[in-house]
Structure 1
Amino acid sequence: MGRILPTLWNDRVTITGVKEVKHGDFSDTEDVTIVENHPAKVVLGGQKPSEQSFFGTDQYDAKLLIDNGVFIPAGADIYVTDVNGNKNKYKRASKGYQGYVSHQEVAMIRDEKAKDVT
């Protein structure tokens, strides 16, 4: 089942994080791309307008379904391109829960200022 599920996922993700590097005696962090253009599926969580505290934001909870072969650290930035070509950035991601045989789930939040123009 782990080989079949990714063929059903039409979203493509690029996941970036940071890694620690040493420069002589000093430690620093560098941005690193974990995966690029990788198949996945975003499942939306709550989008209740009654719970929004400020109407100038586009905020909701979502889950990312992705294969177990990808290590996703907590705090990674996740960029999703859906089947229609729409691009979204998710942040405040959890570490991937790899308790399933077929896939892992990553809880994430889309939290951006609204930028759609009518």
Structure 2
Amino acid sequence: MKAAFNKMGRQLTKLWFDRVTITGVETVKDGAFTDTVPVVIVENEPAKVILKGLKASEQTFFGTDAYDAKLLIRNGLKIPAGATVDVTDVNGQVTHYKRASKGYAGYVSHQEVAMVRDEKASEEVE
């Protein structure tokens, strides 16, 4: 039965048209000092973003653009909690998610990452 789900996982990614770059941090020592540097975990990886809780009535007067989303991505990637995710959708629009959960790889075909977009709205009218 698991073999059928493995085949499904390989086919599932062909239906995902979003492309993601996921960045985490790595600890480095410089003499007596310890610092963190950004590290790209995966770049231009096919994935699918599912929006959750995106209601116009919940947007505030102060112009924030905040909502929860879920990222579907292939298994085999180690996605740490706190990673940042940049998503380029099928139309070429890039969305930056500031906070992400650790990847939940409990499914045979894919893993899920909960994400939050919480930014000041800065869309300009053309």
- TM bucket (normalised to shorter chain) is over 0.9
Please give the alpha-carbon distance, in whole angstroms, between the structure 2 residues aligned to 1:96 and 1:54.
33
1:61-80 C-alpha deviation (Å, 9 max, x unpaired): 10000001111111101000
**TM-score, normalised on structure 2?**
0.88
**How far off is 1:55 after superposition?**
4.0
Task: Please list every run of at least 4 consecutive aligned residues from structure 1 whose deviation after the TM superposition is greater than 4 angstroms.
Answer: none
Question: TM-score, normalised on structure 1?
Answer: 0.94
Instruction: Tell me the percent identity.
Output: 70
Cα deviation, 1:13-56, whole Å, max 9, x if unaligned, reads: 00111011122333221110001111000000011122233441
Alignment: residue pair count: 118
1:35-50 matches, cutoff 5 A: 35-50=42-57
Measured on the aligned residues, the alpha-carbon RMSD in Å equals 1.2
Structure 2 unaligned regions, length at least 5:
1-7
Q: Which runs of 5+ in 1 are unaligned?
A: none
Rg larger in 1 or in 2? Answer: 2
Q: Which has the higher helix share?
A: 2
For 1:71-114, what per-residue CA distance to the aligned partner results, in whole angstroms no more than 9, with x for missing partners? 11111010000001011000111001110000000000111111
Aligned-partner SS, 1:7: helix
